[in-house]
Amino acid sequence: MKLLFRQRFFSWFDSYDIYDEEGRTLYTVEGQLSWGHCLHILNAQKDHVATVQEKVLTLLPRFELYENNEYLGSIQKEFSFFTPRYDIDFNGWHVEGDTLGWDYTIENSRGEVVAIISKELWNWTDTYTIEVKDPKDALYALMLVLAIDAEKCSHKK
């Protein structure tokens, strides 16, 4: 299953549209005014399904993940020299990126690929392709991509 993750060009806060391979909207993401990033994920029917919330005043960037209002866990950037790495404390997943920080692989605890994330270059806004092996993991993979993109955005400022 492939998802296309595209940031909206004109918006005051972080906002994204997530499409399937046929161009149908699966999710929309709306940013909220807060100290740190707070991203609400809505399904195609506009029902709130998940939240990605940045924790402030941490040594390394950390985001808490919620499905509906239930806490799932967090993703935190790990200290590394060359390739970006993230610690995830749910699902037994691990994320590792390339040297430029544009492409990522999510693996489970057995070393099997869960998802492959690729940033598309030459677009006006942040655009990613998320290839998920099992469709039931699509929302969780999306949440991780949102957290990583928000961390990169904060790091640029």
Q: Examine residue 102 and state whether it is found in any structural domain, yes or no.
A: no
How far lies 15's CA from each of 27, 40, 114, in Å? 11, 9, 25
Query: What's the domain range around 70?
Result: 2-74+117-156
The pLDDT assigned to 75 comes to 92
- The answer to whether residues 115 and 106 touch, using CB atoms and an 8 Å cutoff, is yes
Question: Mind listing the pLDDT tens digit for each residue in 69-109?
Answer: 999 999 988 877 777 778 888 888 988 887 666 788 999 99
pLDDT for 157 beyond 50: no
Residue 93 in domain? no
**What is the rounded CA–CA span in Å between residue 93 and residue 86?**
10
- Residue 95 falls within a domain, yes or no? no
Domain-located, residue 12: yes
Give domain status of residue 51, yes or no. yes
DSSP 96-127: EE-TTSSEEEEE-TTS-EEEEEEEPSS-SS-E
Structural domain total, the chain = 1
